[in-house]
Amino acid sequence: MLIPCPLCGPRDALEFRFVDETVRRPEPQSASPEQWRSYLYLRANRAGAVTELWLHRSGCRQYVVVERDSLTNTVTAARLARKEAVS
Amino acid sequence: MTRLQPQPGEVIDRDRPIRFRWVGRDHQGYAGDTIASALAAAGVRVFGRSMKYHRPRGLLSADFHDPNCMVTVDGEPNVRGAHRLVRAGMDVRPQDTWPSLRFDVKAANQLVGRFLGPGFYYKTFMRPARLWPAYEAVLGRFSHGGHAPSEPAPERYDHRYVHPDVLVAGGGPAGMAAAAAAAGAGVSVLLVEEEQELGGHLRWGGPDDLAALRDLRAAMAAGSVEVLTDSVVTGRYDGNWVSVLQRAGAGGATGTVRERMVKARAKHLVVAAGLIERPYVVGGNDLPGVMLSTAVRRLVNLYAVRPGDRAVVLSANASGAAAADDLSRVGVDVVRVLDARAGEDITRIRGRSGVQAVECSDGTVVECDLVVTAVGWTAPLTLLTLAGGRATYRADAARFVATGLPDDVSAAGGLVGDGTLEQLIEHGRAVGRDAARRAMRVASVLAAGVPGAAVPAVHDGHVDVPALQPAPHPELFLGATDGIVDYSEDVSAKDLRAAVREGYDSIELAKRYTTATMGPAQGKLEAVNSIAAVAAATGADLAATGTTTGRPPYVPVSLGALAGRSHSLLRRSPVQGWHDAHGAVPLYAGAWIRPDHYGDPVAEVRAVREAVGLIDVTPLGKFDLRGADVPSLLELLYVNRWRKLDVGSVRYGVMCAEDGVVLDDGVTGRLGPEHYLMTTTSSGADAAHDWMERWLQTQRRDLQVHVTPVTANYASINVAGPRSRELLARLTSLDLSASAFGYMRVRTGRVADVEDCVVWRIGFTGELSFEVHVPAGYGLHVWEALLDAGADVGVRPFGVEAQRILRLEKGHLIVGQDTDGLTQAYGAGLGWAVKADKPDFAGKPELAWQLMREDYLHLVGLQPVDGTAVPPEASQIVEDGTRIVGRITSSRMSPTLGRSVCLAMVAPHLTAAGTTVTVRLPGGGSLQARVMPQHAHVDPEGVKLRA
């Protein structure tokens, strides 16, 4: 799988570390145990279009938000996480 | 069989005889011979025994995929005898023979064959389960294949990474034409051929084929195509990541490397794998002397071997006719040619250790010693289906074809369809030109993704690829009597029928139950026949029965090739050379090599407790943090509070993950208003770095912090012991007095004439100690200066073992040793550090909830009642004989106290000081131990630390 790193260009997935699906961190002051544990453990693991966080560990060390199809491994978008709109 | 007069296309060099050994006896072949061809020329007909029934087996396909002549060469098992070339002095032995090739005890299995049906082993050796070890010992003798050598492989293996524009799998006429055409269009091309020479079926063809082969080879030699022979594409993965196994070929193309795994990122993949001839399933079809037409043509034309004296040919296509012609030309008596297209057939093949006669469908019996079959072709579609293509059955052509290929993969030549040689070459050329065009388009897309890269122009021209259709061919799979379907697994048509009858009526189930197509040949020859056998038993047709799923690797790959070259990525502190030279026993800890001790860890402990010791702690993770918002980052990462840490102070911090589990710990010091030095555990440094950046890049992008990993920029030396102040003071102008340099304080300054050292006063060992972080280039200098300066105060180096004893005496935990993947902060006794009133930090909600529970293990100090006993780490603490209520996490004999000391995780009802617990020892037996009031066994008040 090739991941088009926004800084380095298309690079082999071996250079990256898969981090997680993109999940929103609940507000720690007010989160219920259900909300917090859903954030910790529950993942959609969708067959099809997924949005994930990857780390270009053996490259620019930037966290990259990758949109790909988990059935075909076709990557449709890769953006720097630090440039994402704050959720 | 005997050697023929020189043949026009022969690949043997008659001027270079080669002597080798077979079953302990000398044989002679010629350079260019395979093991099988040399032996066949010497009259050998039986190459091995079949797996289950131990029937004698001879050459079938006479190529790499021949299931009947796997041999052991110089101890290397499972060598493909019809592919590996003879080498002077090689020692070749047959496999699956016991005690000998000629007389095989297990051939008695043939007599009981009717009891050895599918699932025999599953059914027979199931019960009683306690007898399985006995069964296994006996069955082990019957397992087939060679024996794995016990010695390490003397040869080297390697990896190589390549980025060809176009990779062509298969060097027959279409593949060569495709490679040449693509190279002619200006792209880089890698051509991979399984056999030792390019050419495919042209190599064993007639004069026209040989002439065409000369032209194609000349074109190849003139062009820029990189050719890998004796190499196989073993798999195709996402994004055209193509794995190629390159063997040490005839010319030693890989030099001293035995096998090389070539990992190619191809912009376009052309698969031109040709066709594989199928055996005919009929009674006696595995007797030595039954061969495929291509095997006969290879033996005669490539190796000048006479395959027999009297031949019967069953032919449904041109290859059968060509084989018959070849045989007649070299003087073999072709006694009968049965035309399968006209309904003629073989109903059974008779013989014992070889073919003696065939029964024909017209009732005649013809005596012969060679049966040649040409009943159809299998297209090896694995690479195409791995790429997402579907295998579709064409009944009119009696073979599967692939449809639905992705844009970056195409197929050329016989894999697609049949035609004249000119048509195959023309098809290959067109596919090659089209591949080059598509590769350039991919290159353009890739370049567009690289910031600042020049994007090559794309040629939008269209390439017309001529249609190539499979030629009509009769469906000939199963004959009138049951024969072997899978030669390497010894599975017959009858076995597959029985499997279907027992309910395994899908091809995927029948395959697994009978193991058909699961042997070393992986169904290259047998897959379609096994589908036909299942289809015949279920009454479905082949299209409805479908195929099994092909998976990589396409051919067996040695573990050495997968492992590649041995890279030792060992991290060494600048002082490690000194350690090596002074008798340090190495400890491999993660990526680092460290001194475990210098011969006497107990003496090292005493030196630290009584005088002063030095330990090299360079592997500690170190991060330089700068910016206005460092305190905000630290507040998030650690459970502790950081806002009030003043310049010149250090603090011990506890890092938890979002689930509250202790992740890391370490000391962080504030060197300036917006400048901090953070340390982490040695093994956790990389993870901590990722974790910090994750907060900064994904959660708190507003924070102004710059993180620089500086682990290797500093050599770190801990000077520990009651005389550490006295020693260090001799080498620095920093005021180390207790009033000027208190516990948990930090200074930067000069040590042993080295500027910019960071010195902080902490105490992992429990003694007065100073940790000195020295610019790495001066690490050895400062280390030696400290040793020189301290000779009179009894300084000595200590290693990781002494440090572990010292910190255990002091009750300091090690993350990952005294905690595990479930230990949250309160369970580790680190609750004092958790500042629950902070608005946010990693793991905060979970730690708040942990406080409300009482169901977790607690870390406690523990001392065996018998102070001479040291329970091994990981010993269980039990209650009522069997119930596990804790475990020993660390244990040592304490030289300071003269008794054993431990840290342990125990259930909440056992945490009170004075509680006696039972420790179950791994070897049986148990001991009693008492829970201590605190973790520290030595100096619990911390008097020494604060001296």
- Report the distance separating Cα A62 and Cα A57, nearest Å: 7
Residue B693: its chain A contacts at CB < 8 A? Answer: 55, 61, 63
Can you tell me the ipTM of this complex? 0.97
Give CA–CA dist B23/B91, Å, rounded.
8
Distance CA B735, CA B733 (A): 6
- CA B491, CA B504: separation in Å to the nearest integer? 15
CB of B404 less than 8 A from some CB of A: no
CA distance B109 to B785: 78
Contact between B178 and B429 under an 8 Å Cβ cutoff? The reply is: yes
Structure tokens that stand for B234 in this block: 């073993």
CA atoms within 13 A on the CB side of B741: 21
**B42 close to B56: Cβ distance less than 8 angstroms:** no
All domains in chain A, ordered by first residue: 2-83 (3.30.2270.10)
> Looking at the complex, does the CB of residue B659 fall below 8 Å from at least one CB of chain A?
yes
**pLDDT per 10-residue tile (average), chain B, 947 residues:** 91 97 95 96 91 88 94 90 94 76 60 62 68 68 72 83 97 97 96 96 96 94 91 94 83 68 97 97 97 98 97 97 98 97 97 96 97 97 95 96 95 97 97 96 89 78 90 96 94 95 94 90 91 95 90 90 85 97 95 96 97 98 98 98 96 97 98 98 95 96 97 98 97 96 97 97 94 98 98 97 98 97 96 95 97 95 98 96 95 98 98 97 94 96 87
Contact B320, B344 (CB under 8 A): no
Q: Which residue has the tokens 């001839």?
A: B277
Residues of chain A contacting residue B694, judged by C-beta atoms under 8 Å apart = 19, 55, 63
Asked if the C-beta of A28 comes within 8 angstroms of chain B's C-beta atoms, the answer is yes
CA separation for the pair A30, B783 (Å, rounded): 52
What are the chain B neighbours of A36 within 8 Å (beta carbons)?
A: 845-846
Name the DSSP letter for residue B869.
-
Q: Do B451 and A9 touch (CB under 8 A)?
A: yes
Nearest chain A Cα to B694, which residue?
A63
Beta bridge partners of B616: B717
Q: CA-to-CA distance for B208 and B322, rounded, in angstroms?
A: 13
Provide, as residue numbers in chain B, all residues whose Cβ is less than 8 Å from the Cβ of A62. Answer: 697
B:825-854 residues touching chain A, CB 8 A cutoff: 839-841, 844-846, 849
The residue in chain A having the minimum alpha-carbon distance to the alpha carbon of residue B838 is A29
Q: Which two tokens stand for residue B671?
A: 């060197």
Are B844 and A33 inside 8 Å of each other by CB? no
With beta carbons less than 8 A apart as the criterion, state whether A38 and B668 touch.
no
Buried b / exposed e across B170-207, counting CB within 10 Å, b at 16+?
Answer: bbbbbbbbbbbbbbbbebbbbbbbbbbbbbbbbbbbbe
CB-neighbour burial class of residue B871 (10 A; exposed 0-12, middle 13-18, buried 19+): buried
CATH 3.50.50.60 for domain B156-275+380-448: yes
pLDDT (mean) for A9-32? 94
Closest-CA residue in chain B for A31? B845
CB-nearest to B840 from A1, A17, A28 is A28
d(CA A52, CA B903): 41
Cis before B77 (ω within 30): no
Please name which of B369, B213, B371, B212 lies closest in space to residue B295, comparing C-alpha atoms.
B371
Question: Distance, in angstroms, between B94 CA and closest chain A CA?
Answer: 42
Residues, chain A: 87
Of A9, A63, A73, the CB nearest to B453: A9
Distance CA B595, CA B603 (A): 15
Contact A31 B694 (CB under 8 A): no
Pick the CATH number of B2-142 from 1.10.3720.10, 3.10.20.440, 1.10.8.10, 2.60.120.260: 3.10.20.440
User: To the nearest whole percent, how much of chain A has pLDDT over 70?
Assistant: 97
Residues 6 or more apart from B644 whose CB is under 8 A from it?
A: none
- Rounded to whole angstroms, the Cα distance separating B720 from B338 reads 93
**A63–B701 CB contact, under 8 Å:** no
For B116-139, b where at least 16 C-beta lie within 10 A, e where not — what string? eebeeeeeeeeeeeeeeeeeeeee
Residue B430 and residue B125: Cα distance in Å, rounded? 57
Q: What is the pLDDT of residue B100?
A: 64
Query: Any CB–CB contact under 8 A between B943 and chain A?
Result: no
Residues 6+ apart with CB under 8 A from B715: B573, B574, B575, B616, B618, B773, B774, B775, B776, B778, B779, B780, B782, B783
Task: Determine the residue of chain A that is closest to B696 in CA distance.
Answer: A82
Residues B935, B829: contact at Cβ < 8 Å?
Answer: yes
Which pLDDT value is given to residue B548?
A: 84
What is the model's pLDDT at position B116?
Answer: 63
Are B861 and B910 in contact, with CB atoms under 8 Å apart? no
Could you give the maximum distance between any two Cα atoms of chain A, in Å?
A: 41
Residue with tokens 């991941």: A3
Distance from CA of A68 to the nearest CA of B (A): 12
Nearest to B842 by CA among B640, B614, B676, B575: B640
Q: Does A86 touch chain B (CB under 8 A)?
A: yes
Q: d(Cα B245, Cα B768) in Å, to the nearest integer?
A: 59
Provide the pLDDT for residue B139: 65
Strand partners, B650: B669
State which amino acid sits at residue B72.
T
Residue among A10, A19, A25 whose CB faces B446 most closely? A10
Nearest to B521 by CA among B82, B113, B149, B110: B82
Where are any strands of DSSP class E within chain A?
2-5, 9-12, 17-21, 49-55, 63-69, 75-80
| CATH number of this structure's domain B847-931, picked from the four choices 1.20.1050.10, 2.40.30.110, 2.60.40.10, 3.30.465.10 | 2.40.30.110
Closest residue in chain B to residue A35, using alpha carbons only? B845
Domain boundaries, chain B: 2-142, 156-275+380-448, 481-561, 581-808, 847-931
Which positions ≥6 away from B155 have C-beta within 8 Å?
B248, B256, B257, B258, B560
- State the fold for domain B481-561: Arc Repressor Mutant, subunit A (1.10.10)
Burial class (CB in 10 A: 0-12, 13-18, 19+), B112: exposed
Contact of B451 with chain A, judged by CB distance below 8 Å, is answered with: yes
The CA-atom distances, in angstroms, between B119 and each of B321, B512, B513, B516 are 40, 10, 6, 12
Tell me whether A23 touches chain B (CB under 8 Å): no
Residue tagged 């794309």 (tokens): B458
CB contact under 8 A, A40 and B659: yes
Question: C-alpha dihedral over B834, B838, B841, B843, to 10 degrees?
Answer: 50
DSSP 3-state of B772: strand
Q: What is the CA radius of gyration of chain B?
A: 37
Contact between B902 and B837 (Cβ < 8 Å): no
CB B259 within 8 A of CB B246: yes
Contact A82 B698 (CB under 8 A): yes
Phi and psi at B806, nearest 5°, equal: -60, -45
Which amino acid, one-letter code, is at B390? R
Letter string b/e over residues B260-289, b meaning 16 or more CB atoms within 10 A of that residue's CB: bbbbbbbbbbbbbbbbbbbbbbbbbbbbbb
Matching residue, tokens 């573990």: B559
SS3 B481: coil
Phi and psi at residue B824, to the nearest 5° = -85, 170
Candidates B242, B408, B697: best to mutate against A (most CBs of A within 10 A) is B697
Count the neighbouring beta carbons within 10 Å of the beta carbon of residue B721. 29
CA distance to partner chain A, nearest, from residue B513 (Å): 29
Which residues are registered as beta bridge partners of B29? B18
Residue of A nearest to B689 (CA): A61
Instruction: Give A13's contacts in chain B (Cβ within 8 Å).
Output: 238
Q: How far apart are the first and last CA of chain B?
A: 94
CB B236 within 8 A of CB B387: yes
Q: Which residues of B touch A19 (CB under 8 A)?
A: 694
> Class of B581-808 per CATH?
alpha beta
pLDDT at B108: 59
Q: Do A25 and B699 touch (CB under 8 A)?
A: yes
Chain A to chain B Cβ contacts (< 8 Å)? 65
Is the peptide bond preceding residue B128 cis, with omega within 30 degrees of 0? yes
Element (H, E) at B437: helix B421-448
Contact B71, B46 (CB under 8 A): no
Report residue B252 as tokens. Answer: 């030693």
**Residues of B in Cβ contact (< 8 Å) with A23:** none
Judge: B697–A31 Cβ closer than 8 Å, yes or no. no
The mean pLDDT of A15-40, rounded to a whole number, is 96
Contact A9 B446 (CB under 8 A): yes
| Mean pLDDT value across chain A | 94
Contact call for residues B335 and B311 (beta carbons, < 8 A): yes
Interchain contact, A81 vs B697, CB within 8 Å: yes
Helix (H) or strand (E) holding B169: strand B166-169
Partners of B265 in beta bridges: B241
Q: Name the residue facing B450 among A9, A17, A25 (closest C-beta).
A: A9
Is A8 within 8 Å of chain B by CB? yes
C-beta separation of B81 from B35 below 8 A: yes
Q: Give the span between the Cα atoms of B360 and B910, in whole angstroms.
A: 86
Q: Residue B122 has what pLDDT?
A: 66
Q: Is the Cβ of A81 closer than 8 Å to some Cβ of chain B?
A: yes
Q: Which residues pair with B76 in a beta bridge?
A: B73
> Which of B698, B700, B704, B844 is the best residue to mutate to test the A interface, defined by the most A CB atoms within 10 Å of its own CB?
B698
Cβ under 8 Å to A: B residues 678-717: 690, 693-694, 696-699, 701
Report the candidate in B456, B512, B459, B518 with the shortest Cα–Cα distance to residue B487.
B518
Bridge-based pairing state of the strands B189-192 and B226-228? parallel
Find the length of chain B: 947
Q: Which residues of A fall within a CB distance of 8 Å from B659?
A: 40
Reported as half-sphere exposure (CB side, CA atoms, 13 A), residue B212 has a value of 23
